[in-house]
Amino acid sequence: MASVTAYLYPWDVVGDPDVLQRLRLVGADRVALAACYHGVRAATPAHPWHRVVSSPVTSLFVPVREQAWADAALAPQAAKLVAGGENAFVTAAAGLRAGGFAVDAWIVLAHVDGLKAAPELRVTNAWGDAYSHALCPSQPDVVEYARRVTREVIELGRPDGLIIEAAGPMPFGHAGTHEKTDAAGFSRPQQDLLSVCFCPGCSAGYRRSGADAVSLATRVRGEFARAEDARQALGDAAEAVLAVRARASREVWTAVVEQAHALSVDRIAFHASAAPFPSGSGTTALASRDLAVLTRSVALELVASGWDERRAVGNMSALATSALGCAMGSFVSIAGGNLPAVDRLRELFDSLMVAGAGRLHLYHLGLAELSRVRVASEALARA
């Protein structure tokens, strides 16, 4: 049976002793428990107290200490609307550990909702539109936000490890508000171009890399309607754009690892992608030389996106090929769309492991009805 990390929110655990049995059913040995998370309205089909939980803004599920954020340009809000309140992570983690599970703090960084942030700290497209859901880590204040969130979660939550999502530039297509963009018919290359950032930090980075930001924005707007490939549309400036994106991600990853190492956390998983313009919240994986530096301090795992069953194995294989030297995992959702039958799901799990996944990250035991959990359990038992 595969090694399994199961994803949960604190409110899935607080008040529901049966969650331990569901974890055992899928053979999980670790839990990714949300510690800092963007806004969400979540179904809780198995919980004895409630059926829907709303947490509308980016929140910390450990206390927000005033002294830790007093001089910060960006700060999350305290979780006051969910079971366990400001200490929801600690309360839930205690129950999970009592049941025999290791608890990793699941931290979402650059994907935010309701966070008070100046427009220049957000990803901004070639038309000057700032994305409310996306902080840009080309900005030092955003990197500092990531550092402080990591420190506060470790100091107050005392997790066994970290699972980091959205640790780099966020794309256009992974928003958090009520989406009204589908009818625009933006192709994948167009979405990639909409993800090229022109905030002050990125614009300065382009200049340092030999590309003029104003000319680049003009090119993006001019090529947008006929774009068939983002790199081709960017022309000679493509390498500058990718270099700036890579530097921004490297700054965040390094800040997270430094905080973890300083506070004696030696296990970190990053949601990552081999694509230069990821479509979700998995950051483009760092170059092998950068990963080699970071692994001197902590054990790193890279988790490939598996939201789309059709692309999950290819994503896993590409990431395993491009990021040698790290442990590998694959993210698999049982919470959306039509869940495959047991045999097909077992084949997917097998294929992911053959492609390089040493661990399956199962999303999401709180959102999925019990019938879905049982299908996943049977498929995992056969894998």
Contacts of 5 (CB under 8 A, 6+ apart): 28, 29, 30, 31, 32, 104, 163, 269, 329, 359, 360, 361, 362
CA atoms within 13 A on the CB side of 209: 21
Express each pLDDT in 59-117 by its tens digit: 999 999 999 999 999 999 998 767 777 899 999 999 999 999 999 999 999 999 999 89
pTM exceeds 0.95, yes or no: yes
Q: Which residues partner with 330 through β-bridges?
A: 304, 360
Q: Could you please report the per-residue DSSP string of 148-171?
A: HHHHHHHHHH--SEEEEE--SPPP
What residue ranges define each of the domains in the chain, with the CATH number in brackets?
3-382 (3.20.20.80)
By the 10 Å C-beta count (0-12 exposed, 13-18 middle, 19+ buried), 242 is classed as middle
| Cα separation, 275 vs 3, whole angstroms | 25
pLDDT band at 337, cuts 50/70/90?
confident
DSSP element (H, E) containing 59: strand 59-60
Express each pLDDT in 245-284 by its tens digit: 999 999 999 999 999 999 999 999 999 999 999 988 999 9
| Cα separation, 224 vs 198, whole angstroms | 15
Structure tokens at 228: 């068939």
